[in-house]
Structure 1
């Protein structure tokens, strides 16, 4: 079948594939591709070059190459196991990728192995045959080779051999499941129920319009998860691989919170930890937030967090939580027919009475009167 026979132009095709390649695998496109290309590494590594940028993609790294730019990629080492998608981006995706630009058209959203909180701590390796005295305590991060004699009473460190290591926070599992869904969606005819994820040995082009939309929905989820992951502990995009935020061709970017909880916090002087706390509050105002829980989320002591938060925003963390809950309540009163008790519960208030009193203090009307005025 020629390109002229296809119902979907080549540039608009959505193709999903999964490769497990050894040494010698390489692809070179001197004129680039008519579509954008996304690659997410599961295992091993690949060397990717485009637009003057060269990078080695390791496990968890997401590389996105824009269309019409010469590129070359190949296995780096013994194995490169990765997912890939040819697609045309939705407008908002380009904005999400902008802080991750390494050069015009080449983007790297780093996996957890690049972020500081997942780097392995320096460790000592004990050679084969090492004999430890009874009662020895191994330091955190110590490892030892097979054949090491561990006598009774030896205390293993957290994460050492024989002791389960703590798993780093990661979106990798969700991203992998999204790729599996995307591959299954691409096989859908557009009628009935989409197929369940199955074998992934063959690349699939989504020919049905509905199938393409479902695949793009999965790609959107992947991009959101991959581009959000580096900021999990307040890190700016680019920090994990030694770049200034927005240091590509698109100029600088800033981290900011939006909505009622962001009053008094904007611009380059914003503390990333405070910005992260504000994001958590805005995302779920009805959650049981406390100074302690918010401080833990940004790796600060409660006292230090409360001080920094008040210094940056001009109010305490719990006043910010209260403002977010009341703003959320006002939205629910306006847009839904939930009763006052349901609104109070959804916004994290302990009782309808407490909610009504607090709401009236802020808005000058109790919730019912506020709703009647809006609907009159």
Structure 2
């Protein structure tokens, strides 16, 4: 379904699409284009570059993307992106959606800046696969337009093209359109992650820091503390806290809070657990504390966040920009 009335480019401060929607588009932007979200987005953002260069920043991490690069930004972390300074343009496909859980292991080797940043830079993908990856994006664009009354052109073997002058943004409405679009995106993500060469392991973070991050991610609801994490990696609490902050740019407790908030958001999106149960399962001491921290991160309390996701899925609301 076309997203009528959307601008061709999202300016600084424009909100991201509401959580729960599957939105896909294709832009070719010139110098001056940029998006800045101090609160981050409510959904995952996938960006596949086909020409020119773009620069993307999330948290304390920054990458430059050229043709054959897939960059993925997790929700809830401040980010900004735009045309690379000095480059004449940036042509790219993009999609906002809730990532399928199975994609996380594929992306993890390409993570930058530690878990709190949630930025994954996949590439360069071998040139021989560029057409196939872009074909998956075109199929996603076509399948997102699936309605009961209209069969997408791509389903008939016709290449899906954004009409000249069109901002190239479509929103998937209905379960068939969403699932077909996500399946096409899944192919693009898997092709990129399976074919690109993961960056060589840098000197840091230290194995003990990586082990602590893995412990947080494996069980966000556990009663982790600086002391307990330090003990599990055989360091004193002070040495562990210093090493963790030195190598990731974040304190252990800030990193843990981000892991817990992301875990809580997934529970709100995919389950009917009460806010109290979500808070407990995510490691927060009380529902009141959880609600306060969650609202500070997402700009809305947990209950309203869940309602917004469900309303976005059932109501054809067009997002504003990428």
> Please, what TM-score do these two structures have when normalized by structure 1?
0.45
RMSD: 2.8
Q: After the TM superposition, which residues 161-310 of structure 1 pair with which residues of structure 2 at under 5 Å, given as runs?
A: 170-190=128-148, 193-196=151-154, 197-199=160-162, 201=166, 202-231=168-197, 237-239=198-200, 243=202
1:243 and 1:193, CA in 2 relative to 1: closer, same or farther beyond 3 A? farther
1:244 and 1:15, CA in 2 relative to 1: closer, same or farther beyond 3 A? farther
Asked whether the 8 Å contact 2:54–2:82 carries over to 1, the reply is yes
Match of 1:234 in 2: none
2:21 aligned with 1:13: yes
Match of 1:111 in 2: 124
Structure of greater Rg? 1
1:208 and 1:245, CA in 2 relative to 1: closer, same or farther beyond 3 A? farther
How much does 1:207 deviate? Answer: 1.1
Partners of 1:220 and 1:247 in 2: how far apart?
A: 32
Aligned residues: 184
How much does 1:245 deviate? Answer: 10
Higher relative contact order (CA 8 A, sep 6+): 2
SS at 1:24's partner residue? coil
Q: After the TM superposition, which residues 1-376 of structure 1 pair with which residues of structure 2 at under 5 Å, given as runs?
A: 10-76=18-84, 77-103=87-113, 104-112=117-125, 170-190=128-148, 193-196=151-154, 197-199=160-162, 201=166, 202-231=168-197, 237-239=198-200, 243=202
Partners of 1:245 and 1:180 in 2: how far apart?
A: 38
Partners of 1:173 and 1:245 in 2: how far apart?
A: 35
Partners of 1:79 and 1:169 in 2: how far apart?
A: 20
Asked whether the 8 Å contact 1:35–1:88 carries over to 2, the reply is yes
> Please, what TM-score do these two structures have when normalized by structure 2?
0.53
1:245 and 1:43, CA in 2 relative to 1: closer, same or farther beyond 3 A? farther
1:250 and 1:75, CA in 2 relative to 1: closer, same or farther beyond 3 A? farther
How much does 1:191 deviate? Answer: 5.6
- What are the ranges of 5 or more consecutive residues in structure 2 without an aligned counterpart? 4-16, 155-159, 215-322
